[in-house]
Chain A
Amino acid sequence: MAYNCVVLIKQVPDTKRITGDVMNDDGTVKRSALPAIFNPEDLNALELALQIKEKFGGHITVITMGLPAASAVLRDSLFRGADEAILLTDRRCAASDTLATSYILSCAVKRIDYDIVLCGRQAIDGDTAQVGPQLAEKLGVTQITYVEELTDLDGKTITARRNIGNGWQQVKATLPVLLTVVGEANEPRVAAAKKMMKYKNACTPFEVQQRIKAENSDAVEAEIKELVANRCSKLEESGSLIKQLDLDDVEADLNWCGQSGSPTKVHRIQSVVLAAKGSKQIEPSKEAISDMIHELIDDKIIA
């Protein structure tokens, strides 16, 4: 039988590239100073969904909640083989913690006919690994976390191997189910040539509006509105319109969203200093010191 999958993805700052230049004085990260990337384990989740689709058939919907610019990871998903992409964006989502985020996502996922929901284990910007499990609770479905291998899928029964840190656990569950997928599960495929060629201009209504405005700076609002509607319907025809939803569209209770729905409080931020374990002796010359400093810069130890 075919399985409909929903994959939840997130655009994150590339925290591997953190250097002193991108830190605020209070120890937090300047997000805008880092390149925005597809959260790595979300790629593993998408890859698993694509493998399920290749083997059994079905439909893959990818959803992200984020700023309008997060459409980049949705396009990337289309390039890799997702069938449909949805951007959930709303200013009222700002300051949502994991609880509010999982609530908002659940409102969106509930509107879709799904068998399997897939998430990356955790995002590299927060590393909480909470959104997947919380979402499963809100959807009222079984969760299998830390999935390393999908061992079997037969009718309504799924069997998966979980990596539980000090060993593995094989579990069986009845669909629908939510999986959180770890990086070891697979090696994600790259973007496919024909899909890139086809979907390279895929965008959200928001992006269409921005582009039309830039192209017709002296047009009045009514004209712009009409141009946007025309362009959007053209994109929709070719399957290149990324669906855009806000909190009203998914009928979310605003009390559970954004700041008011987020009980998490940051207690304090601690500056962790790692103690040196190894040592290296260098010659007491200017050149050797300069080489050493460059080596440390190259290794991103200092900046």
Chain B
Amino acid sequence: MANFYKDNDDIRFLFRHTDVAGSANVCEEGFKFAGEFDYAPADADEAIQNYDMVLDSLGQLSAEFIAPRAEDVDRQGNVLNEDGTVTRAKGIAETLEKLAQAEVMGFTLPYRFGGLNFPNIIYSMAIEMVSRADVGLMNIFGLQGIAETINAFASEEIKQKYLHDFSAGKVTGAMVLTEPDAGSDLQAIKLRAFQDDDGNWLLHGVKRFITNGCGEVLLVLARSEPDRSGGLGLSLFVCEAGPTVHIRRLEDKLGIHGSPTCEIFFDNTPCEIIGERQRGLVTYVMSLMNGARIGIAGQSMGVAEAAYRVARDYASTRKQFRVAIEKLPAVRDMLIDMKTVIEAGRALLYETSRIVDMEIGYAKQLETNPPEDKAEAKQLKNESRRYKRYAGIMTPMSKYYCSEMCNTVTYDSMQVLGGSGYMRDYACERYMRDARITTIYEGTSQLQVVAAVRGVCSGTAEKLMAKLAGQQFDPEISDLLETLAKGRELLTESVIYVKGQGNEYMDLYGRAVVDIAIDLIIGYLFCGQASTKVDMQVPVAENGSSDNGKTISMKQRKAIIARRYVTKNAPKITALAELIRTGDKSTFTDYEALVGPVQELG
């Protein structure tokens, strides 16, 4: 039986290599739920057993039920009916029912609302598998952060009203943020929230590009303080689909056809406020977006994995010049690069997810059960702050890296298939279309760089790397660690230079600075994997008839990957560092001369 968990050696390896038990420990808050809920685990081993079983079951559903429907879903898309309702593609509707039966729609919600209380590290694995099966489905399965936001910030009454239904898969949600004139710049939001004479909140205005806007529960960011411009005039509201919520249009778009993108008109829609006034954007939506960014990184992983597999399969069977094309240097190099960046993205995303688990876990402990001992409490506070800072740079880095990576991989996948890949007979072209949105929504790559570069320049990235460099490594890769250490020196020099040139320069060369930091962090993560304590055997490619069934130790394999990755990236890092220190400011000084006047579009 096909299974996207069992057939993915890297996910299964990382499940064991990563400190999943650490995530379980903080998530289960000392395993205090075991007495109260009959399905809650009593210790870390049991939690890990639970995660493994659920991933296995979801891997089977993804491979056997969801994936076979994806092509039809892409062709069908969604339909806006005359009465304003939206009919989803048949495959999506059927899949939502199966996901509800599989009890996975409250993946990270607390037990008391019928959720699984799983950590983010496991959720990221799940999102990857589901996205590999149907990229657009992630926008429902992977946006459980909507329910999580309600859980984190709404009143108990609102939680009780909605969260049980989310867990049971009876409702889906939408993040209703974007407006025609407020995309990346959410501070410009105009949609009005006002109170009637009885103090009830109502919404009025238009929202655009709303993913799954036809969902039943909508989280709406709106201007509650008419006199106040900017982010502090905004609050977050929750409302239900109904007669005052009009879907006016479905976007006709390039990819992710399983996910309806709606324009919504709110005509004095009754709603309830989440948390406190004025904290909508600055606190709640920022938290919601961070979760969503990790979700998009997971989605990117899924589509990249799917596209790679098509290319890998094709390259081994397609013959040109009397050999399988995988024997041609240019093609085999492309395949190795695709596989390497996929594992790089996964390393980065899973480490990020683990860090987010620690961040949330420590914050929760401080809030609900702080240590009585003052020194201990202080230490916990420091740890909590540290993880918050790490999560603050790793989240945009993961979103940026994985989404750019999946665009490269889907592009190269089509390149491997050549003319066949350009045709609709193969899934490559669908993957390429589906991948394209990932660098755009939930914050463009450019915005992710802005979010990450401050953390790199303030020294957080260096602290994180120093911590990663302090692990126990195998002596065989000590030369790689020296290479990485040199890279860190170059990064430090680049940061000093950039800071000396001011903020504008920092934004201009931010991408180069962040690229160096990401490459180094991934280098350390690969070296960590190459020094793993939980080795396993994995099959190698067949190369002739005699070596069928041959395997290699994953640890050994990861050492090869680490070597290739670190060695090939070192000259790139040197080049980037030199680029940063050219001091070239022509972007500012010569824009007019270089781009010329605006031309007729013809």
Name A residues whose Cβ lies closer than 8 Å to a Cβ of B: 79, 81, 187, 189-198, 200, 238-239, 290, 293-294
Contacts and interface: CB of A to CB of B under 8 A. Distances in A.
A190 B98 contact: yes
A284 to B, nearest CB: 14
B54 A196 contact: yes
Contacts of B39: 194-195, 197-198
Nearest to B47: A197
B50 A192 contact: no
Main SS of the interface on chain B? loop
Given A197-B53, A238-B38, A190 B545 contact: no
B544 interface: yes
B368 interface: no
B492 interface: no
Contacts of A189: 98, 101-102
A194 B103 contact: yes
A187 B65 CA distance: 8
Contact of A200 (B50, B61, B101, B548): B50
Contacts of B116: 193-194, 197
B53 A200 contact: yes
Contacts of B104: 193
Interface in B43-86: 49-50, 53-54, 57-58, 60-61, 65
A190 B58 contact: yes
The interface centre, meaning the residue of A187, A197, A238 with most chain B CB atoms within 10 A of its CB, is: A197
Contacts of A293: 545
A196 B49 CA distance: 10
A3 B116 CA distance: 30
Contacts of B101: 81, 189-190, 192
A200 B38 CA distance: 11
A192 B53 contact: no
Interface in B548-567: 548
B6 to A, nearest CB: 13
Given A190-B98, A191-B102, A290-B544, A196 B38 contact: no
Contacts, number: 58
A198 B37 CA distance: 9
14 contacts: A191-B57, A193-B102, A193-B103, A193-B116, A194-B114, A195-B39, A197-B40, A197-B41, A197-B50, A197-B54, A200-B49, A238-B38, A239-B38, A293-B545
A190 B62 CA distance: 10
Given A190-B102, A197-B39, 14 more contacts: A187-B65, A189-B102, A190-B58, A190-B101, A191-B57, A193-B116, A196-B54, A197-B53, A197-B116, A200-B53, A238-B38, A290-B544, A294-B542, A294-B548
B246 to A, nearest CB: 33
Nearest to A239: B38
A293 B60 CA distance: 30
Contact of B103 (A195, A200, A290): A195
Interface string B94-110: 00001001111000000
A201 B358 CA distance: 29
A193 B41 contact: no
Contacts of A197: 39-41, 50, 53-54, 116
